[in-house]
Amino acid sequence: MWAKIAAAFGTPILAALLVVGILVATHHKVPPATIFPSVSPAAHLAESPTRTNSIPPGPCMTGEVPDHFAGLAVKQRIEANTRTFREVTGHKPQIVEFYNPFLSPFSERQASEVVKEGEIPLVQLNYFHVSVRKIAEGVYDHHLIRYARAVKSFACVIVLSLGHEMNGWWYPWGSQTGITPAEFIAAWRHIHDLFAREGVSNVIWSWDPTHQYKSPAPGKVATPASEWYPGPRYVDWIGLDGYLNYDINSHPQNFKEIFGYELNDIRRIAPHKLLYLAETAVSPGPAALKQINNLFAGLSQYHLAGLVWFDALGRADQTGKLKDFRLQQKERGNAAALYNKMLSQFLGRGA
């Protein structure tokens, strides 16, 4: 009898000690109370007409799936930039995106900074200085196995994206560099399957093409995103990248102009996947307030789950000046206030 009682009490105590051990091993003291959308790992899914509301198991995930979420993308100083962004916009991000080159180890320090604040890391793993073809052939498997095991040991859920904006022309793994969609897909599936063999279950796979699909200028060629889609068993989320800027005639761009074609193209091949903007922002300028309104109107019109604001310096404009998308800049005070208002409505928290 006493043995049964001891077992009844001992089991939860051992489970609690196990969770504490995991948290200590991953540099966490308390599991953040995160409420965040998710799906089951893509390795176990075919295309489904419904979105699951389950949260992947682990010490860093609790709560139900909200209809909408928001986040920010940073290049450096994650904690400081996240804190400043939160102060300016009045909203705590649910996801923080950062960028890593393929051959680097898993960035546990950066991911831990994000998780410590109760947010989910979105890691953009970019194919710099490697061959996409050789990834598919297994040449980098020793590195990938170490990376996969590090992610598994991290225990907290991460969102992982591979070679984002692959259908554009500006990256060495892009559509104009001799890489074919078939080769990109083969590399993606190889990495995904390797993670599955290593028993990694805390990854949400996010496929992130660019909005570009045509030639806006001579020598610049992009292709429809659908050509690069790895398939429903290999993708959990789909994140589209794009910005509301000004066209070559200095006219302000709108949501439909930037995202309409690719959203329709993606929905045709993946009608039931969680779809969001994985990297977006509005350029500073006279039309910024109107474009922020239009950005959120587009999110609702196209039934997107969320957006990740690019909180950093972007590429140079036609004059050679770097575009500054950061809302915490003093000259963008009105834009930050409007973003706060529109995001509150989008998240269902009122004006």
In this predicted structure, the answer to whether residue 321 has a pLDDT above a threshold of 70 is no
* DSSP states of 252-280: BP-HHHHHHHHHHHHHHH-TTSEEEEEEE
40, amino acid identity:
S
Contact 151, 106 (CB under 8 A): yes
pLDDT cut 90: percent of the chain above it: 58
Give CA–CA dist 213/220, Å, rounded: 10
Lowest mean pLDDT across 189-193, 195-199, 219-223: 219-223
- Position 348 scores a pLDDT of 86
Q: Where are the domains of the chain?
A: 1-30, 35-346
pLDDT band (50, 70, 90) for residue 320: low
Beta bridge partners of 324: 313
* Phi/psi at 174 (5° precision): -85, -175
pTM: 0.82
pLDDT (tens digit per residue) in 165-181: 999 989 999 877 889 99
Average pLDDT over residues 287-301: 97
Q: b/e per residue, 229-248, with b = 16+ CB within 10 A?
A: bbbbebbbbbbbbbbbbbee
What number of residues does the chain have?
A: 351
Is residue 135 within a helix (H) or strand (E), and if so which, with residue range? Answer: helix 132-137
In this predicted structure, the answer to whether residue 294 has a pLDDT above a threshold of 80 is yes
Q: What residues contact 264, with CB distance under 8 A and at least 6 apart? A: none
110, amino acid identity:
Q
- Position 215 scores a pLDDT of 66
- Position 327 scores a pLDDT of 87
- Position 88 scores a pLDDT of 85
Which of the two residues, 268 and 19, has the higher pLDDT score?
A: 268
In this predicted structure, the answer to whether residue 153 has a pLDDT above a threshold of 90 is yes
* Phi/psi at 145 (5° precision): -65, -45
| The dihedral formed by the CA atoms of 38, 44, 50 and 53, expressed in degrees to the nearest 10 | -30
- Position 78 scores a pLDDT of 87
* DSSP states of 162-211: ESTTTTSSSSTTSTTTT--HHHHHHHHHHHHHHHHHTT--SEEEEE--BS
Place of tokens 């052939």: 137
- Position 95 scores a pLDDT of 93
Average pLDDT over residues 84-113: 92
Q: What tokens were used for 312?
A: 């950093």
In this predicted structure, the answer to whether residue 273 has a pLDDT above a threshold of 70 is yes
Q: In terms of DSSP bridges, do strands 203-207 and 237-241 run parallel, antiparallel, or are they unpaired?
A: parallel
Give CA–CA dist 191/135, Å, rounded: 8
- Position 84 scores a pLDDT of 87
In this predicted structure, the answer to whether residue 32 has a pLDDT above a threshold of 80 is no
Give CA–CA dist 14/62, Å, rounded: 20
pLDDT cut 70: percent of the chain above it: 77
The domain 35-346: what is its CATH number? 3.20.20.80
